[in-house]
Amino acid sequence: MLTAWAAVSVLTVADRLVGELASQVVDLPFEVVWSHLGDGLRVEVRQNSAPATSPSGPSIPVEEWGVTFAGQHRTHWARLRLPEFAGRTVSESSMEEPSRGPIWMGFLADASDLLAGTLNPDMVPAIISQIVVPRLATWCAVYTWTDGGGPQRPAYLWHTDERRIDELAEELAAIQIPQAGGSMQLGDSQMLVIPLLARGRVLGTMCLGRPDRFPEDIFQYAEDIGRRAALAMDNARLYATQAAANRALQRSLLPPNEPGEIPGLDSAVVYEPAGETNEVGGDFYDLFAAGDDSWRFAVGDVCGTGPEAAAVTGLARHTLRLLSREGYGVAAVLDRLNQAILEEGERARFLTLLHGEITPVPTGLDVWVVSAGHPEALRLKPSGVVETVVTSQSLLGVFPEATFKAELVHLDVGDVLLAVTDGVTERRRNGHLLDDDGGLAKLLAECVGLSARAVAERIRRAVQDFAPEPSADDMAIVVLRAR
């Protein structure tokens, strides 16, 4: 990063300076970098996994020096002024054309990559400051403007000498930052104010400071960085707004808290949508009171993902609750839900659904169940016998003429009813599914004597352990145990 002609006049001094900086690093590998910055030579000693220490300044006269930390990356640096520039006046320096060679273009590309690497609005100001300090300025303060106004406080402040950050913050607090940009004096520093403008809106400003005057090329470089930084900031804000709206939609599709104590029933639910940022996927579940002496449950899987699938999820869950509390039986509820989905027209998505009504009886629980194309429900007896208990009927949202019939499943005390979505049964490893050769039934048979919560966790853990890679499908597990 250093042109040969610039190194000749300070080679001996720079070598000594490297020796002094290197003598202050801990006994770990380090890297030495020389950079030609306009009228100066910057010498850096970079080291990874270095602990924070209290270095001293070099004995060799330098324009400035400092230590920069980025995580565990530590850079001890100093800046020498090149003799060729010592006699130049400000006017001569400002008349030079900016040097936009490969070094600058590479730096600009790296800066763009760093800014594009985050969609967190709170991280963008920090990245901006780390980019420009110390490459373009001794310190940087990034301000972000809000619609509500309020006092001007930097969103992030960075200085090559961390000991001066508090002092700099006090100096900045005493002035009004011009939102239109410009140049001004702040204490012993010249300060450049670069507006962060994106899509016709000023999002904030980037303030750069250094003890000497900024060369003209640095000003233009800062404008380049400012344009990219503003676009990254606007993209991050747009993403954060959209993500917040998605989370609000997802939370609205989750059922409220599970009902309180249900006589004779021990229940448990496991729900895991695919994707790190998702709270809700195409699968859904519910367990709620339908009357004084009856409760309903549902496990469903909507075809597809995205807003259309979410709309069908919301329609199904709210229709189930409303009609159940109006006294409709489980088969009648599915008849009407099927018609409601078909009336959505092109926006409709078919779904599979297992819906049932739970009624406590002296000998255990009576469960009236309808399976609309859903993976089979299994009953585990205390003897270890596992059996399929419901016949699969038509999918919802496909056939207008479809009708449904409820089946009675009795659970004696100790019996367990297991309902899952295909994120469990179709968990894949090397071309094999978890439910091949009755795999799910075999897992359930190992759960004799366990509580509903223990059964659900055993199934969840088995699904996770079945394949090394994260699941690409949502998963819902509902366990009902008569007690």
- Supply the pLDDT for residue 257: 67
Q: What is the pLDDT of residue 3?
A: 39
CA distances to 358, 366, 483 from 361, rounded to whole Å, are 10, 7, 11
As annotated, the residues of the chain forming the CATH 3.60.40.10 domain(s) are 258-482
* Nearest to 365, CA basis, from 402, 313, 414, 292: 414
Task: Specify the pLDDT at position 413.
Answer: 95
**Angle at CA of residue 15, ends 14 and 17, nearest 5°:** 60
How far are the Cα atoms of 284, 308, 457 from residue 279, in angstroms, in the given order?
11, 16, 19
Residue 50, C-beta contacts closer than 8 angstroms, at least 6 positions apart:
25, 26, 28, 72, 73, 74
User: pLDDT value at position 91?
Assistant: 35
pTM (2 d.p.): 0.58
Residues 355/368, Cβ–Cβ less than 8 Å: no
Task: Tell me how far apart the alpha carbons of residues 467 and 129 are, in angstroms, rounded to a whole number.
Answer: 43
The count of C-alpha atoms lying within 13 angstroms of the C-alpha of 384, restricted to the half-sphere facing its C-beta, is 2
Tell me what pLDDT residue 14 has.
77
Report whether CATH 3.40.50.1110 matches the domain 91-253. no
Q: What is the pLDDT along the chain (483 residues), one digit of tens a residue?
A: 343 334 445 667 777 887 788 777 766 777 777 776 656 778 888 887 666 566 777 888 888 888 876 666 778 888 887 764 444 433 333 333 344 455 666 767 777 777 877 888 888 898 888 888 888 889 999 998 866 555 677 889 999 888 889 989 999 988 888 888 888 888 888 899 999 988 888 888 999 998 888 877 777 788 888 888 899 989 988 888 887 777 776 666 677 666 778 899 999 999 887 765 555 567 888 999 888 788 999 999 888 766 677 778 888 888 999 999 999 999 999 999 999 988 887 766 789 999 999 999 999 999 999 999 999 999 999 999 999 999 999 999 889 999 999 999 999 999 999 999 988 999 998 889 999 999 999 999 999 999 999 999 999 999 999 988 887 788 899 999 999
Residues of the chain with CATH 3.30.450.40: 91-253
Instruction: Give the CATH H-level superfamily of domain 258-482.
Output: PPM-type phosphatase domain (3.60.40.10)
